Structure 1
């Protein structure tokens, strides 16, 4: 297909209709969300396919599915509409020093590491306010309108205009409460941990849209020591890292603690290492500064603070 100039592109409304239809894989559901008729949605999709000279959906007795062209277009349309929404938000509310710094992260990172960072930062910068947005399901939250910075994992790519800073690799270590260690430890031999209650993240945690990484489990940790571990049913399995950490604090068992997520607990002594071995994996954590926020005068000191604090994690 020949390259289209911008002035020959189909209407923005057609692309917006396509995104909604692709989300639902149903013209009827799209019509309901857009408050138009199903025929109107169908007509816009046909016009868009004609203008682009390609099929965007595959129609079968089982329903709709995206064609390869449709899947490619959906990613571009989603990014484009996100950028447009972000730009409009920036125009209607220019960044001001007294506006909160908005941070996006997964639930575990936001609940523990980010809250600890912002609390400590405000001790020396009491006029700085923060908004923390946490989700394991919204994979677009890191670039949502109004989000200034985001903590992301496993992805060293950034959108043009954004800044991306390496923080530290993924590192996990068995941790438990000091009372649990005193009653059941010490665990000098890693194999002795196999007889302890090993609390674990549920498989659904790793399938969440904002995570979707290769699982890092007890099997991974034992394998890194050359130990074959056959998991038993965990006394507690959850897709929520904060629930797992709370259980470990209460002495219910041993968890794999991500070093940055349990850093404050380790510093306070509410959790302690159950074994010295730290498993490091290839994926890393990054700080993403979104384009619209780069020139905020109050943001740079906080970014520098995060980078400084991350060095102690990386050196652990």
Structure 2
């Protein structure tokens, strides 16, 4: 197939709008990111399809899918916009403040990401960070301004992205040292039923940015061949950070996600209440567009995150 002459190409604005709509598979989310109306997005896509004389989307009830032609165009436009973005970045004067934007869930941002940002900025104080954290807004990962998205699940890399496996999703009973000294030891799984077991509310697992199979006390007891007796608990919450703060305050035992509590364990602020972990069969990933990796600050920070896993 012969390439189309540049003067016959659709407008760059229409192609950029298509790229955002194809990324989200939603005209509504594309409009939100582009700060225009949903109708404007829909009209630009219709005009683009008319100009190209091909359907780019399959429009279903409350859903969009890319056609084969749409998928091919999405790959080409995404790569082209990444190249333009990188070229424009080369024109920026040296010495301007560098900013890295990261999206993550609330708990991941607070207990894993933020401490690593602090150690990174100790060596690179001129680099600033934007953290977009939410358990409810699953679209943050796809916003055009996001350089790095921290994800949990079984992820696949899309066109123009780099995907790095970080660690498996695993949790283990943890509590404050004083709580274990007063109420422990817990020599077997069944004995944990006499403790105050802090746990995540079911609403946590149904949040839009979570949406995973639960990894809670019921699953942990079952994995140990024991039964959770569901005794009284002083705290159930949909927020991991509230649970960790309660455990740090000596309120009870929680299932601590190993990547979130590892630093607290090393600092002696938390201890393991039982030696048995439980895994969920899913992993945590770092996703970064290749265009962002061409920026020195982003590349250095990705390297910093990956190196921290080897320490």
Partner in structure 1 of residue 32 of structure 2 = none
Give the deviation of 1:302 after TM superposition: 2.1
Task: State whether structure 2 residue 259 is matched by structure 1 residue 260.
Answer: yes
- 1:170 aligned residue: 169
Compute the RMSD of aligned alpha carbons.
Answer: 4.1
| CA distance 1:139–1:83, change in 2 (3 Å) | farther
Residue number in structure 2 paired with 1:147? 146
Partner of residue 213, structure 1: 212
TM-score normalised by length of structure 2: 0.74
* Displacement after TM superposition at 1:297 (Å): 1.8
Residues 18-167 of structure 1: pairs in structure 2 closer than 5 A? 34=37, 52=55, 56=59, 65-66=62-63, 70=64, 98-167=97-166
- Match in the other structure for 2:188: 189
- After superposition, give the CA deviation of every residue in 1:51-83 in whole Å (9 maximum; x if it has no partner): 85998455xxxxxx55xxx4668x989999999
Q: Which moved more, 1:226-235 or 1:238-247?
A: 226-235
Q: Please list every run of 5 or more consecutive structure 2 residues that lacks an aligned counterpart in the other structure.
A: 29-35
Q: CA deviation at 1:193?
A: 0.6
The offset of 1:125, in angstroms, is 2.6
**Corresponding residue pairs, total:** 286
Larger mean CA deviation between 79-88 and 199-208 belongs to 79-88
Whether the aligned pair in 1 keeps the contact of 2:57 and 2:65 (CA below 8 Å) is no
* 4+ runs deviating over 3 angstroms: 11-16, 33-36, 51-58, 70-73, 75-97
- Which structure 1 residue ranges, 5 or more long, are not aligned? 25-32, 59-64
Q: Report if aligned partners of 1:172, 1:279 keep a CA contact under 8 Å in 2.
A: yes
Aligned partner of residue 174 in structure 1, secondary structure: strand
CA distance in 1, matches of 2:210, 2:179: 30
Taking the aligned partners of 1:220 and 1:135, their CA distance within structure 2 comes to: 25
**C-alpha distance in 1 between matches for 2:102 and 2:290:** 14
Pair 1:293-2:286 in alignment? no
